[in-house]
Each structure stands twice: as structure tokens, then as C-alpha cells.
Structure 1
Amino acid sequence: MREVNFDGLVGPTHNYAGLAHGNVASMRHGGLESNPKEAALQGLAKMKALKDSGFAQGVLPPQQRPDIGALRDLGFSGSNAQVLERAALDAPQLLRAVCSASSMWTANAATVTPSLDAADSRVHFTPANLQSSFHRFLEPRTTARVLAAIFRDETRFAHHPALPATPAFSDEGAANHTRLAATHGEAGVHLFVYGRQAFGGDNDRKEPVRYPARQTLEASQAIARQHGLNDAQAVFAQQHPEAIDAGVFHNDVIAVGNGPVLLYHEMAFLEEERTLEELRSKMAAPLIPVRVPLEAMSLEDAVSSYLFNSQLLSDSDGSGAMTLVVPGECQENEAVWRTIQDLLLGGNNPIGEVVVKDVKQSMRNGGGPACLRLRVVLSEDERSGLSGRVLLDDGLYGDLIAWVEKHYRDRLTPEDLADPQLAEETLTALDELTQILAIGNVYPFQLG
């Protein structure tokens, strides 16, 4: 059993629209000029570096953007060029939303349960409904088609519908889900983190007041039921409201786990001790908590550096050692870098190496290394049963680099989003990409 990180390719319309309320970096950089080509190349460079280090690496395609069909559903009519022009004049924020390249953050794409933990011995997928924001609500249908095209064999893989797109079942995917186990090849316990309770909640229960809590307890419970997880396999924990109000819009901005290790900030969970004790009681192996206290790192530093949005990876040599892949912003923050050196590398835990990667284009839009990947634990047989050409090797990497160099712009402003030529360029690029990845027709324009 190996964990495969499926990274999302950054789309050709990568732009800074500041669409995500509660995502401090996204709001701060809204309206600035972006560089889609650099963003895609940075993401591919990270994938290649991890592949070369022995980690299993996969690729997921971006969404079709601009989503002109969504604009038509909202009353805009005429040719594609006319729809874009009218939206730019009458509703520029809608135009920015339907051009969002946010699907690059595949940690939000779905929640995944490995076959080892499922009663039917299949890998289970549920696309996130992402109903808390319009620009992300547009993603689940295409996400479901992409996952079904890659994980096609019904004897190995099970696909569930996205939860009802209502506030009560607001689901943000694997960004609020962590599987903990001794190794990837042993049965795991699933930690689901939620921000609020929709039904029958405790009136005295604390909730954020500045920014919205996106994930609900009810959504997390429904995912667990869909995947057949029993009470002994799942732990549900509330995210700390003060962390959400500080800009921790998903749990993966304040905690990251892998194997038996849970790296987290003191302010990650509302009931820290209860959460740890329940994990300890349900895990077959000893939990290794790595706690970063508030006195060592403020919530502001945690959010600005995205230390906890790093990738925590089990080294492929079977030693139990782990590598932490952090964004360059961690190295630029004195308190964060000191914490990495003294508490993480210098502490009694399996983290033996820290690798710094430049993903600035993604970071400015509010997503770090961990946002860019969907973790899927697969057996050798399941990996051999994947459809398409989605596991990264040198040949695929070279083809994707050439594809980006051919199709992507190196400068994009909010005003450029109304350019009908950009829409045409994107469709041409995506059509070619589905051929490179050999996943068939997954986009609306390909389906007719």
C-alpha cells in the first residue's frame, strides 16, 4: 500500500480575484496581476521533485474555465464573446468566479477512504459539494467525471454522489479529513474536522464570528456513512472558532497528519485533549502528536506561512522517517523557521527532513503545498488498475511542461478574463490535455 499524491494542474485562467471570504491570502491579493504559466510550472516542479525523491505522484486536470454555461444559467445570453462582455460590464465578480482556477487545490476535490478501511474492500470517493462559495460550487460535476474516468474499475473503486448542496451539508473535502495509522498498509482511523453543527447543536457551543465555518458535522458524518466507516474508525472534532476567525478556513491550514503523526497548532481543535484521547483509544498504533504551542507561533504566523499546509510524507525506504514539504514563506518567517528547526527537526518525532518549495503563485491565492494534492492510498493492484496516463514519470512531466509552455499566458489581469480569445485558448489547451492524460472526454464542451 502506498500513498499517491494527486496534484491538481493549475489552470490557464489562474488569477487573483479575492473570491474566498475567510481566506486571508486570497482576499489580500485580490485584483493583482497573476502569472498562470509560472503557477503551473511551479506546481509541476514540486510534483517532479517529489517523484524524483521516491514518492508516488499523480496528476489531476484543471476545470473548464471560464464556465460560460454557468453565466448562461444566470441569464446572460448571446455568443460566448457577448456573454463574457456583458458579464464583465454587469457582474464583474461573477465573471471572476466563473474563471477561477481554484480546482488546482485538489485537497478540496473529494474525500477518499482506502480499500483497507472499507467493508467492501474498495477505494471510496465522494466529491466535495463546495457549496459555501459559488466559484467552487461549480466544480463537483467535473470532479466526479474526472475521478470516475481515472478510477474507473468498479471492482476496485466506488464513487458516491456529492452531498446535497445545502448549508447543512457543507462539505469541503479532504482539507478537513486526515487518516491516521501505523503505516499506509494497516487499518486507519479517520479524523473528520468540522467548523459548525447544523442540526440540534449545543446553544452554548462556540462558533466563529468573523469568518464563516465551512464544514459541518453533518457533512462529515454523512461521508463516513457513505464510505461504510463505523464508530471505531472515525473521530469527529470541532475546529477552534478562534482559528477560523484568524483565517484558518480549513483544518489543513492548522494541522496535518500522516501515518501515526499529527502535527498541529495548539489552537487547531476546540477540544484538544478530548480529540487526542479519542484518537489514542481508537488507533491500533500509538499516536504521535507534534504540538506547536501558541507561545512558539502565533495564529497569524501560522496562517501567513502555511506551515501546517505542508505535505507530511512517509519516506519510501520503510524506515518510518518522514519528510515535510513546506512553502518558501516558512523560511522567510523567523518564528516559523525557528519552530521548524527546534521543535520539528529537533524534537522527538519521525520528521527527519524539511524540503522548501516555491509555490508563490498558489500561496498568493491562499493555497500551499498540501492544498495542491489529494491523497489516495492504493495497493499495487489498484495502482495498476488506474485508467489513463496520470502517474507522473519523466515522459509525462516533459509532455506537461511542453503543454504549459505552448498554451499558458505569463500575465493575466482581472480585465483579461473578458477576452473571448482566452476562453478559446483554454478550450484548446484542455482538449489537448485530455489526450495527453488519456482520460477521455470529461469537460462540458467535450460532452456536447
Structure 2
Amino acid sequence: MKSFEVNFDGLVGPTHNYAGLSEGNVASKSNANEASSPKSAALQGLAKMKALHDMGMNQGVFAPQERPDIFSLRRLGFSGTDANVLEQAYKHSPSVLSACCSASSMWTANAATVSPSADTNDGKVHFTPANLTNKFHRSLEPTTTGSLLKAVFNDDNHFNHHLHLNDNDHFGDEGAANHTRLCNEYGEKGVEIFTFGKYAFNVAMPAPKIYPARQTIEASQAVARLHGLSDDKVVYVQQNPDVIDQGVFHNDVIAVGNQNVLFYHEQAFLQTDRFINELSGKFGSEELHCIKVDSKDVSVQDAVSTYLFNTQIITLNDGTMAIIAPMHCHDNPRVKAYLDKLVTLNTPIKQVKYFDVNESMKNGGGPACLRLRVAMNEQELAAVNPNCLMNDELYGKLTGWVDKHYREQINFDDLRDPQLLIESRESLDQLTQILNIGSVYRFQKD
């Protein structure tokens, strides 16, 4: 039976704005309070999805969250009409209003951790939404994320959905941004790599000093248990605390993998040699390619500013691999020179394709942040909600939907506008019909 990796990219929400909410994310903080372009951001994301579809990839679409999050604002004591709630939050707690308007769910690498059926003890694809406890604006997402995942992967015969982990920093879980899977074929049993930033219950262990470590080993172990993974096919590795303090807030900013390729910076991990040895032993094949990028070729600073590792590595129909990179990699002479050299080496990576995702990059997320990877076989793919799989017709519907509902520009002052809330809800209500995902939003149920 054939198997595939399907990338489900997050649609950029109508309230996409630059609030600088993510401490430890250099790009997010440096562009705080600039005017954003929700329409451009959404169209850039859709163009990337369509391009991968045109390259022969199976490409999915994942809906955004409801924002502004009026429910959370009311829970925090703001009252009256929806317009009153927005105005009160704007006047008395603008940072809370910013958080409750964040379109951060566009980065679906943080939506969940996914284990394919070949790896799990019940032979189903497992999903655990990330709790994202480290950042308030992202901690608002998990419940709706779980509902969206169930609407897309809605066949209990093939898919197993878990509740997100306990909402506490001891079990801080950032989803697929700190998880990757290596295998020979997508449908074969693979090795799942869980990268963590700290030990929550052992403060004597290494940890970053400037920026927070968002993923704990305890969370990673819990997800592996929930998914029924075999110990002999799981590797836990700690991220280098020093690179977290340099702005590498998720592992996918410093390493990325696909099938039998792990592409990583030499400073990415603690005890790198031990990690690679364990990984090689559990992978059990001479065909594993561990591509280490030396600091003399690409510094951590260049890796962060260009998101060299926050790229996608995809397997093309001819069996070779391509890197999907942001234009920032093309425009940096050192990173471009490295990528030009990389495609000539004896590895499966033979192409680099550059995409304009500048609106996402300015808010701190590159191509890898925008997608949730789901490996499936033919039967499982056939069980996915077909309205959420990219094709020419869906692309036309979604670009028309964006053109109709999205604003050209948003500033912070616009977040208090009750009309933006109305526009957002109208757009999401129509989107649920386009994707046939049902009433997944709170405003549709109230």
C-alpha cells in the first residue's frame, strides 16, 4: 500500500497582526507594532500550498482560530456587549487585547504532535494538540485545535485523538515544532525524535538563562505514552540551552528532518554525538543522512534571521528531495552559498525552491512553522475530509474568500473595532462551509 506525507498548512486568520507577543522569538519581537497585511499574508500562504500541490505533493488546509477571542476576554472580567468588551480591553489592558486577537494558529507546526499508524501500538494515526502553555496567546488555542483536527481527521477507524496535556508549564508542549520523524518510507515504522528544552522536575539539569525553554522532557514522554510508541523507536534529545538564548525558541528553527535525512546545525543539541549514535542505532539503516551545518559556514544568527532550518524538506515524485525555503535564505549571501553547495553533495537533497512568506517571517514563522506533517497510507488519506485537501477548485474558492473578507492592513488600534469582529466571524462561518468542518467555533454554538 502506498504511503504519503501530507502537509496541512494553516490559513492565516483575518486578524493577523504584529504584537510582538512571543518572548524568545527574535523576529516576532523586532517587528512588534508594525502594520500588518492580513490579505497578503493569507494569499502568500495559499500560494505556497498551491505550489506544493502543483509539484505533486498531497497538500491540506487547516482553518484558523476565532479571533478576537471574546470568550477569553469575558472570562478575564470584561463585560457588556461585544463592542464594550473590546473597548474596555483596549483601554485597560491592551496587551491582553493583543493576545486575544493573535492569529498565531497559522503556524500549525505547533498545532499538535502526530504519530503515524506504522509507529503506534493500535495501528491508528494519533493526534495530541499542543497545550502551548508558555505563551498566553497560544494557550488559548488547544481546545479549538482539537475540534479542528477531529473535523479534518474524522474517521475513528483510522484516527485517534487525545486531549491536550495538562495546562501547566511542567508539561509544556509545543507540538511538532519540537518533534520530527525519520523513516525509510512514510508507511514503514520510523524513529520519532522528541526535542525538549528542559527538565521540569529536575531544576539541576541544564536550561537556558535568558529565554524560556518551552518544551519539557516530561511533556515529550507523556505524548509518546499516549501514542503508544515503542521505546526502541523513540529518541529524546535536549536542545542546546545556549541556542535557545540566541532566539532558537523551537527546535525547528535549528533542525529539520524528512524520511532518511536529518538537517541540523552543529550547535542544535546537547551531547550531539551521543544523540546521533542513538538515532543511527534505532534507525537501523546505512541510508541515514545526518547533514551537519558548521558554524563557520552558517552562524546561529544567520540561521535564525533566514530560517534556514525552518524550511520544509519534501520528497518529490522522482524520489529526490527538495528544500522549501523562504526568500530570506536566497537574499543572505552566506546562506545562499551554503544551499548552492548542499544540492551538489551526496545527499538526497537536490533542489532548493524559494517562496515569499514575508508576512509570516516578520511575525516569527517560516515555511516549516506553517505546516503540520501527517504521514498516512492510502486508506487513511481516503478517510480525510476531502474538502480540506488542496486542489485547483479549492484554491480558487479560498483566494476568493480571502479577497472578499480580509483587510489590506491592520494596526493595533483596529483591534478595538467591533466591525473587525463581525468581519472575522462572517469569514470563518463561510470558511466552515467551504471546508465542510461543521460548527467548530464557539460563536457558531452560542
Q: Which shows bigger deviation, 380-389 or 110-119?
A: 380-389
The residue type paired with residue 183 of structure 2 is A
2:152 to 150, 153, 156: 150
- The residue number in structure 1 matching 2:309 is 308
- The residue number in structure 2 matching 1:170 is 172
> CA separation in 1, counterparts of 2:8 and 2:177?
14
> CA separation in 1, counterparts of 2:253 and 2:132?
17
Q: Does 1:131 align with 2:133?
A: yes
Pairing 1:120-269 to 2, within 5 Å after superposition: 120-200=122-202, 203=204, 205-269=205-269
Deviation at 1:263, TM superposition (A): 0.2
- The residue number in structure 2 matching 1:58 is 60
Q: For residues 212-245 of structure 1, what are the alpha-carbon distances to aligned partners after superposition, in whole Å with 9 as ceiling and x for unaligned?
A: 1000000000000000012101000000011101
- The residue number in structure 1 matching 2:321 is 322
Computed over aligned residues only, the root mean square deviation of the Cα atoms, in angstroms, reads: 0.8
Q: For residues 87-114 of structure 1, what are the alpha-carbon distances to aligned partners after superposition, in whole Å with 9 as ceiling and x for unaligned?
A: 0000000000000000000000000000
> CA separation in 2, counterparts of 1:347 and 1:243?
27
1:396 to 394, 397, 411: 394
Q: 2:357, 2:367 within 8 Å by CA — same for their partners in 1?
A: yes
- The residue number in structure 1 matching 2:92 is 90
Q: 1:255, 1:265 within 8 Å by CA — same for their partners in 2?
A: yes
Q: For residues 237-275 of structure 1, what are the alpha-carbon distances to aligned partners after superposition, in whole Å with 9 as ceiling and x for unaligned?
A: 000011101100000000000001000000110111011
The residue type paired with residue 224 of structure 1 is A
> CA separation in 1, counterparts of 2:46 and 2:59?
11
Gaps of 5+ in 2: none
- The residue number in structure 2 matching 1:379 is 377
Deviation at 1:206, TM superposition (A): 2.3
> CA separation in 2, counterparts of 1:83 and 1:403?
28
SS at match of 2:34: coil
Query: For the structure 1 residues 2 and 388, does the alpha-carbon distance in structure 2 shift closer, same or farther, using more than 3 Å as the test?
Result: closer
Q: For residues 367-413 of structure 1, what are the alpha-carbon distances to aligned partners after superposition, in whole Å with 9 as ceiling and x for unaligned?
A: 00000000000111111111250000000000000000000001100
- The residue number in structure 2 matching 1:115 is 117
SS at match of 1:117: coil
SS at match of 2:381: helix
Q: Does 1:290 align with 2:288?
A: no
The residue type paired with residue 311 of structure 1 is Q
- The residue number in structure 2 matching 1:78 is 80
- The residue number in structure 2 matching 1:406 is 404
Q: Which shows bigger deviation, 147-156 or 32-41?
A: 147-156
Deviation at 1:165, TM superposition (A): 0.8
> CA separation in 2, counterparts of 1:151 and 1:186?
20
* Aligned residues with identical type, % of pairs: 55
Q: 2:187, 2:376 within 8 Å by CA — same for their partners in 1?
A: no
The residue type paired with residue 138 of structure 2 is R
The residue type paired with residue 16 of structure 1 is Y
Q: 2:115, 2:126 within 8 Å by CA — same for their partners in 1?
A: yes
Q: So what's the TM-score if we normalise by structure 1? A: 0.98
Query: For the structure 1 residues 80 and 388, does the alpha-carbon distance in structure 2 shift closer, same or farther, using more than 3 Å as the test?
Result: farther
Q: How many residue pairs get matched?
A: 443
> CA separation in 1, counterparts of 2:114 and 2:441?
22
- The residue number in structure 2 matching 1:426 is 424
Q: 1:181, 1:285 within 8 Å by CA — same for their partners in 2?
A: no
The residue type paired with residue 90 of structure 2 is A
SS at match of 2:164: coil
Q: 1:41, 1:404 within 8 Å by CA — same for their partners in 2?
A: yes
> CA separation in 1, counterparts of 2:240 and 2:202?
19
The residue type paired with residue 259 of structure 1 is Q
- The residue number in structure 2 matching 1:347 is 345
Q: Does 1:12 align with 2:14?
A: yes
The residue type paired with residue 402 of structure 1 is G
Q: Does 1:337 align with 2:367?
A: no
- The residue number in structure 2 matching 1:365 is 363
Gaps of 5+ in 1: none
Q: 1:35, 1:361 within 8 Å by CA — same for their partners in 2?
A: yes
SS at match of 1:263: strand
> CA separation in 2, counterparts of 1:235 and 1:26?
30
- The residue number in structure 2 matching 1:275 is 275
Q: 2:191, 2:234 within 8 Å by CA — same for their partners in 1?
A: yes
> CA separation in 2, counterparts of 1:388 and 1:297?
41
The residue type paired with residue 332 of structure 1 is D
> CA separation in 1, counterparts of 2:349 and 2:150?
35
Pairing 1:34-53 to 2, within 5 Å after superposition: 34-53=36-55
- The residue number in structure 2 matching 1:446 is 444
Q: 2:131, 2:166 within 8 Å by CA — same for their partners in 1?
A: yes
> CA separation in 2, counterparts of 1:193 and 1:18?
25
> CA separation in 2, counterparts of 1:419 and 1:316?
48
Q: So what's the TM-score if we normalise by structure 2? A: 0.98
> CA separation in 1, counterparts of 2:386 and 2:440?
12
The residue type paired with residue 75 of structure 1 is G
> CA separation in 1, counterparts of 2:117 and 2:317?
20
Q: 1:313, 1:324 within 8 Å by CA — same for their partners in 2?
A: yes
